[in-house]
Structure 1
Amino acid sequence: MSESEHDRPLLALLIRLLGIAGFAAMGALIKLSSSHGIHLAEIIFWRQFITLPILLGWAMMTGGIGLLATTRPKAHAVRGVYGMIGMVLNFGAVILLPLAEATTINFSAPIWAVILSIILLKERVGIWRWSAVISGFAGILIIAQPGGGHIPLEGALVAMGGAFMIALISIQIRDLSKTDKPMVIVFWFAVSSVVCFLPVMPFVMTSHNSTEWLLLLGVGLTGTWGQLLITMALRYGKVSSVIVMDYSSIVWATLLGWLIFDTLPPTSTWLGAPLVVIAGLIITWRERVVSKRRFADMRQATGT
């Protein structure tokens, strides 16, 4: 099948939108699970454990368990460590903050990616991306209002730490994606998480009623649903095209926060959120421009 036959941008946008909705639902279920007294470590364990039979079943139906094999166990182990730290921070942010605020601060990940590209990749960053970085952090300061805001400062710091880890993880996933398919990356992350959190379970796990088990099941199912759909969207559209749908999670988070927790963002969030979103969009657009320029220079240098 040709690239043009794979390119179905509207379908890609719809799939990505549904995937983001899955992650938003997961965030609401994490918050509900915590309100029922379920420990964060147990929430993470079941979130990842439920992924395993789903992906194993998918692999068996589509070509066999060999589809999950990898030749880079060390790289997956490092990704697992980064991912678990990221999950602790991002799940913790959802528990500590209202959904809309946790989601908005989460969008500072592209800002951290720019900073990491300077530190790790020695990349030169121009006025556009520096302006976006400044705009994004200004938006976060407006939302958090250090020292006098409506949200706890420690929650805002945890959320920013989670966004930093997303940026760091994205660099490693980009490297792993050169050799391994998305399903393989997700599977081995789930395996490493379950192995690491299993020894902790006897100390944090408590007995649960049917409602609490349904909440934990929902966390696992919606998280897997979100991961698979946002990955599937890339079969039909480019990252630079579909990533705009990621910002729909602010709408989902605001809606779920209102319907489930009876909370709506205050004025400071409505003022700060657009700055963070605009910063992310500028960075995404500029990355696309820079990437095209590099590709053109490469073709010119090789005479192709």
Structure 2
Amino acid sequence: MAAKAFQPRHQSVSRGIAFRLVSVGCYSVMAALLKLASEHGVVAGEMLFYRAIFALPVVLVWALRSGGVRALTTRRPWAHLGRCALGIAAILCSFQALIMLPLATATTVGFTAPIFATVLSVLFLGERAGNHHWLAVALGLVGVAIIMLPGGPANDTAPLPGVAVALLAALGTASVVTVVRQLRHSEHVAAIVFWFFASSALVGGILLLYVGKQHDLQTLAILAGAGFAAGIMQITLTESLHATQVSILAPLDYLQIVGALALGWLVFSELPGQSAILGGCLIISSGIYLIWREYRPQTIARRNLEANTV
């Protein structure tokens, strides 16, 4: 059964935007709660487990409602295994970046993923990238360099190891996007989402044997909230894709940075320095431009033509 979950079912721009805004809000809440949990001594391996175990019931109910048990079956188990391995590595790096960096900086550097996705699509999917794409990639990398600039105003709040881990997370996310673009043609999106959360719970449970510690009820409540927010985030993200085009929705994801700035200031008293702001603006500009080039009608028409001639 070919996956149809990424094809809009009921076109509604307002409905799609509403779902995406909820998804963005849930991401910001999840990230803030996980960072708060880190201040209670929770490490990345524990975050992986608790996020998955508390999100899994929500995701399972949604998956069964979306397509029943058949939607969870797969014809490509090895491809799922590779996707899950990449995703778990990426999310562990992402959680470690949250621990090491201010919330807004970790979120901003994470948005270098479209830059890496462009490079990986050229290398592994055979897609073409013009000079405009490479200019945007260069612009985003300059933004990262500014954030990492030693001695700059952000030097005290953006340690180089933390930025490096955040970049690894973005590279892993881009790799996952590349794999999912292949999987979605033959797999139901419910299977892709469910098996990732299930594998995260399994790997997190194994890591818990080595890094797990006892936590008080307040910390467990924070982790439960983060997991629940993660489940709602994934559902609303997918439902937004059902409702309208990616080209309309993708730029809204950058509101995650606004959420991270607000929550970082309110909860952690974090304010980014000038270098972080300037570098972040360059990364955002690069990402939005790449999204526009990716989903403009001419690009989609060219890809459809190439697919039909293979």
Q: Normalization by structure 2: what TM-score?
A: 0.90
Conserved? CA contact 2:63–2:194, under 8 Å: no
Q: Per the alignment, do residues 300 and 170 of structure 1 end up closer, same or farther by CA in structure 2, a change over 3 Å counting? A: closer
Conserved? CA contact 1:103–1:253, under 8 Å: yes
Q: What do the CA deviations read for 1:114-140 (whole angstroms, capped 9, x no partner)?
A: 111232234332121111011101111
- Alpha-carbon distance in 2 for matches of 1:160, 1:62: 34
Q: Per the alignment, do residues 195 and 8 of structure 1 end up closer, same or farther by CA in structure 2, a change over 3 Å counting? A: same
The one of 252, 262, 265 aligned to 2:269: 262
Q: Tell me which residue corresponds to 2:300.
A: 292
- Alpha-carbon distance in 2 for matches of 1:296, 1:56: 33
- Name the stretch that deviates more: 64-73 or 257-266: 64-73
Q: What do the CA deviations read for 1:28-61 (whole angstroms, capped 9, x no partner)?
A: 1111111101122111111112222223333455
Q: Tell me which residue corresponds to 1:206.
A: 213
Aligned: 1:234 with 2:241? yes
| Mapping of residues 154-233 of structure 1, within 5 Å | 154-233=161-240
The one of 127, 132, 138 aligned to 1:128: 132
Aligned: 1:143 with 2:122? no
Q: Tell me which residue corresponds to 1:111.
A: 115
Q: Secondary structure at the residue paired with 2:128?
A: coil
Conserved? CA contact 1:51–1:187, under 8 Å: no
Deviation at residue 11 of structure 1 after TM alignment: 1.8
Q: What do the CA deviations read for 1:214-244 (whole angstroms, capped 9, x no partner)?
A: 0110111111111111111011111111101
Structure 1 unmatched ranges of 5 or more: none
Q: Tell me which residue corresponds to 1:12.
A: 16
- Alpha-carbon distance in 1 for matches of 2:124, 2:232: 32
Deviation at residue 296 of structure 1 after TM alignment: 7.0
- Alpha-carbon distance in 2 for matches of 1:288, 1:61: 29
One-letter code of the match for 1:206? K
Report the RMSD for the aligned CA atoms in angstroms. 2.2
Conserved? CA contact 1:147–1:153, under 8 Å: no
Q: Tell me which residue corresponds to 1:249.
A: 256
Q: What do the CA deviations read for 1:248-276 (whole angstroms, capped 9, x no partner)?
A: 00100000001100111111122121111
Q: Per the alignment, do residues 255 and 75 of structure 1 end up closer, same or farther by CA in structure 2, a change over 3 Å counting? A: same
Q: Tell me which residue corresponds to 1:67.
A: 71
Q: Tell me which residue corresponds to 2:41.
A: 37
One-letter code of the match for 1:98? P
- Alpha-carbon distance in 1 for matches of 2:307, 2:40: 58
Q: Per the alignment, do residues 62 and 241 of structure 1 end up closer, same or farther by CA in structure 2, a change over 3 Å counting? A: closer
Give aligned-pair identity as a percent: 36
Structure 2 unmatched ranges of 5 or more: 1-6
Deviation at residue 147 of structure 1 after TM alignment: 6.0
- Alpha-carbon distance in 2 for matches of 1:52, 1:16: 20
One-letter code of the match for 2:51? R
Conserved? CA contact 2:140–2:286, under 8 Å: yes
One-letter code of the match for 2:299? S
Q: How many residues align?
A: 300
Q: Per the alignment, do residues 128 and 50 of structure 1 end up closer, same or farther by CA in structure 2, a change over 3 Å counting? A: same
- Alpha-carbon distance in 2 for matches of 1:58, 1:121: 31
| Mapping of residues 56-95 of structure 1, within 5 Å | 56-60=60-64, 64-95=68-99
Conserved? CA contact 1:33–1:216, under 8 Å: yes
One-letter code of the match for 1:135? L
Q: Tell me which residue corresponds to 1:275.
A: 282
Q: What do the CA deviations read for 1:187-216 (whole angstroms, capped 9, x no partner)?
A: 101122222232222222222211011011
One-letter code of the match for 1:248? L
One-letter code of the match for 2:132? W
Q: Per the alignment, do residues 46 and 299 of structure 1 end up closer, same or farther by CA in structure 2, a change over 3 Å counting? A: closer
Q: Per the alignment, do residues 75 and 270 of structure 1 end up closer, same or farther by CA in structure 2, a change over 3 Å counting? A: same
Conserved? CA contact 2:66–2:190, under 8 Å: no
